[in-house]
A = this chain, B = another copy of it.
Amino acid sequence: MKKLADINKDFAQWYQDVIYEAELVDSSPVKGAMIIRPYGYSIWENMQKVVDQKIKATGTKNAYFPLLIPESFLKKEAEHVEGFSPELAVVTHAGGKKLEEPLVVRPTSETIIYAMFAKWIKSWRDLPLKINQWANVVRWELRPRAFLRTTEFLWQEGHTAHATKQEATDMALEARQLYKDFMQNYLAIPVIAAEKSASERFAGADHTYSLEALMLDGKALQMGTTHVLSHSFPKSFDIKFQDKDGKMKVPYCSSWGVSTRMIGGLIMSHGDQDGLIIPPKIAPIQVVIIPIYRKDDEKELVLNKVEELKKQLEKLDIKVFVDDDDQTTPGAKFYNWEIKGVPLRVELGPRDLKNNQIVVVDRLEKNKQMISFENIATEIPKILDDLQDKLFKRAEKRLMDSWYQGDKLKDFGSTLEKEAGLYQTGWCGSKECELKFKDYKATIRCVLDENKHSQCAVCDKKSEKDILVAKAY
């Protein structure tokens, strides 16, 4: 096993080290793509299960649309094609022949889905139409980084059509709230839900809302986005419906997505020097049991009890793994499961058997507790719940502690560049002033619904709304 880089001195290297050592991913012979290994993939499966349920609860239905989209579809919406062109992978040959029209590997599916919406939507009675797709998408990346920016990634993309702009906006906000609930209550990551500035919008959107989180190194990560699409988008696909008043109208659309990027956010929100810390509600393994014995007669007794304990915990719907590998020492096992971020470790040896107890060590504070056999069913779920709660509170405190108020960019800019963190300040709304934040390697993460700062941090003109500025992934 490789020693992880110092989390405080070289966070970027720590991230690389931990994702490989914990066997979440492996580098791929395909440039820019990653291999998601079973342990990493099972985190994604757990995320999918919850998000899918929440999406279905909004009345949205899953469907599947083609991977390969005719190039002409992307060109129908000017802003959209401009935004995505540099990132496209293009199929020019298939079936042994040059194609008449190149096909792009979907970078997102608005265009192909809108082509179908045009067919499915005839009347106000067909609205709202709410479709979701779980899929892989490809966006060519020059500087790939596992989970955060990869040429191919996995995601869900919700696409909806509504009779009015208000309804489309409500849907984009409902989706954002759904994501926020998931991120806070399952991933234990506090997120800021706000709107993006115009320049950071999705290519083809009137409004982009985002969930921003603060990573352990003080940089922000966009964890998910929801969009109200520009009306020109459905127009360019000729989507029309006859409204109650008999008139033909163009519906308004929303789209929204979260991806495997959330796994990157999870790692960078909760890890420590010893590796990952996975919140219990999303952990592939919630409790790892490590049997401890020396002699053969001990072994049988211990393993019998371990098996009994495993069954008992599984009955409580707890995900348990017994690491009974004979070739590895308990110490090496502790080390391995700490890197992998398993919330609770249970040790059970001959002495514990005698004392009718197990030893429980939590991954966050590494507190060692003895729990007697008869209290297991009540205590273990409680410890897991507490741990979930503590992880959220720790991350929330960090977010609050790193949330600064700044008046003038020239005063706080260099500190922001050096030490990161979130800076709330004023902004006149101009593109020129927005660009100035780049001088300090920062960007506007979102526009807040607050107005504590009366002047723009750059030009001193009147500020309409506060913004949050940060360095970001």
Contacts and interface: CB of A to CB of B under 8 A. Distances in A.
Contacts of A142: 95
B36 A64 contact: yes
Interface of A: 26, 28-30, 33-38, 40-42, 44-45, 61-70, 73, 85-96, 102-103, 105, 112, 115-116, 119-120, 125, 131, 135-136, 138, 140-142, 151-152, 154, 327
Given A89-B93, A91-B91, A70 B30 contact: yes
A28 B66 contact: yes
27 contacts: A29-B73, A29-B112, A30-B68, A30-B69, A35-B63, A35-B66, A35-B116, A36-B63, A38-B131, A41-B61, A67-B105, A68-B151, A68-B152, A86-B95, A86-B96, A87-B95, A88-B95, A88-B96, A89-B91, A89-B103, A90-B92, A90-B93, A91-B91, A91-B92, A95-B140, A95-B141, A96-B140
A437 B154 CA distance: 45
A267 B85 CA distance: 40
Contacts of A120: 26
B63 A91 contact: no
A57 to B, nearest CB: 14
A440 B347 CA distance: 68
B103 A67 contact: no
Oligomeric state, in number of copies? 2
A86 B69 CA distance: 21
A66 B152 contact: yes
B67 A38 contact: no
A51 B117 CA distance: 31
Contacts of A125: 327
Given A38-B131, A90-B93, A93-B90, A64 B154 contact: yes
A138 B67 contact: yes
A154 B93 CA distance: 21
A30 B112 contact: yes
A347 to B, nearest CB: 24
B64 A41 contact: yes
A68 B138 CA distance: 9
A255 B235 CA distance: 46
Given A93-B92, A142-B95, A41 B62 contact: yes
Contacts of A64: 35-36, 41, 44, 154
